[in-house]
């Protein structure tokens, strides 16, 4: 049984480092907390795919009875939540056993967001004279234009792009479908990639309908997308860690800043609850506050 957990722990390690772009210390902290649960669950003989909410509740109760602080319990539950987010990427129909388990409110996390100028910087370093550059431009434009998750991007189908209507059909978490508007610029680069690059590829039959492929005609992986984005961010001298998910946050934040209805943003992101989408209103308030500080005359320093 532990062999199976060890495989998932290795996958989780990769997820934290590449997809979440966490530091070494944060990664080791998540893994350490998760290993405590793995040690506990061995007695229950449950695999990562058969863990039930009751297993987790029993684990948290054991921590409480051992005198472990509530903050530490919440941290371990948080590690389990992130772990099952990573597991669902490869097992989208799996029900997250942590979903209905409440944890202490420890404040809101404000995600990293790129400015419009930073996005333009990243686009400007792409070499459009190469096949990979043309493909990568289409990838970045799609991420920013639609706010799709990286797992949704790599499974995007050619047959799911409705050019005339300006929509794409996205298969999200739990195999839920949604239609997302896509901008003309993104469609332009997708068309260029399909006509000038993809049309010349020797595509394996199993991948004929997948949009974004490697140069061997196979579907791209999540790791490949992360490496592409990180390479562009480095070349553009972006001072913060950038992952594909940062484009999702930037997409939503720029919409809210522009006055978009929060329910519409929720629909485009595929959030089941608007509570998740509300994080972008907090970002928007911070943005507005900064605008006041920068431009309102009453916020300027008083002359001596």
Catalytic residue positions?
Answer: 149, 173, 245, 248, 271, 280
Q: Which of 143, 148, 141, 137 is nearest to 170 (CA)?
A: 148
> Per this entry, what is the length of the chain?
304
DSSP state of 174: G
Residue with tokens 């004929």: 208
Q: Residue 125, CB half-sphere, CA atoms under 13 Å: how many?
A: 16
Rounded to 10°, the helix 53-65/70-90 angle is: 160
Residue 212, Cα to own-chain centre: how many angstroms?
17
Are the C-beta atoms of residues 254 and 116 closer than 8 Å to each other?
Answer: yes
Q: Residue 228, CB half-sphere, CA atoms under 13 Å: how many?
A: 26
Rounded distance between C-alpha atoms, residue 166 and residue 146, angstroms: 11
Are the C-beta atoms of residues 248 and 170 closer than 8 Å to each other?
Answer: no
Residue 189, Cα to own-chain centre: how many angstroms?
22
The DSSP bridge partners found for residue 167 are 162, 181
DSSP-based three-state secondary structure for 130: coil
Rounded distance between C-alpha atoms, residue 215 and residue 217, angstroms: 5
Q: Strand 177-181 and strand 161-162: pairing?
A: unpaired
Are the C-beta atoms of residues 99 and 51 closer than 8 Å to each other?
Answer: no
Q: Which of 251, 213, 247, 225 is nearest to 18 (CA)?
A: 225
């Amino acid at each position: 049984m532990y062999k199976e957990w060890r495989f998932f722990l290795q996958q989780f390690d990769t997820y934290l480092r590449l997809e979440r772009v966490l530091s070494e210390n944060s990664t080791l902290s998540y893994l350490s907390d998760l290993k405590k649960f793995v040690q506990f669950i061995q007695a229950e003989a449950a695999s990562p795919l058969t863990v039930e909410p009751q297993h987790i509740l029993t684990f948290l109760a054991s921590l409480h009875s051992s005198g472990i602080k509530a903050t530490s319990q919440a941290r371990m539950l948080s590690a389990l939540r992130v772990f099952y987010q990573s597991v669902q990427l490869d097992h989208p129909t799996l029900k997250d056993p942590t979903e209905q388990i409440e944890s202490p409110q420890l404040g809101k996390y404000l995600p990293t967001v790129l400015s419009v100028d930073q996005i333009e910087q990243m686009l400007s370093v792409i070499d459009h004279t190469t096949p990979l550059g043309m493909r990568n431009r289409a990838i970045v434009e799609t991420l920013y234009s639609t706010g799709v998750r990286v797992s949704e991007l790599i499974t995007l189908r050619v047959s799911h792009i409705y050019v005339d209507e300006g929509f794409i059909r996205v298969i999200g978490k739990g195999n839920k479908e949604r239609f997302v508007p896509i901008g003309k610029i993104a469609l332009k680069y997708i068309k260029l990639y399909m006509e000038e690059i993809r049309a010349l590829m020797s595509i394996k039959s199993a991948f004929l309908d997948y949009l974004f492929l490697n140069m061997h005609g196979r579907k791209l992986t999540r790791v490949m997308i992360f490496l592409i984005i990180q390479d562009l961010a480095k070349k553009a001298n972006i001072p913060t860690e950038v992952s594909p998910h940062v484009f999702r946050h930037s997409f939503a934040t720029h919409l809210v800043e522009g006055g978009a209805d929060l329910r519409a943003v929720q629909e485009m992101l595929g959030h089941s609850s608007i509570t998740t989408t509300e994080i972008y209103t907090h970002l928007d308030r911070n943005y507005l506050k900064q605008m006041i500080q920068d431009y309102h005359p009453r916020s300027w320093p008083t002359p001596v």
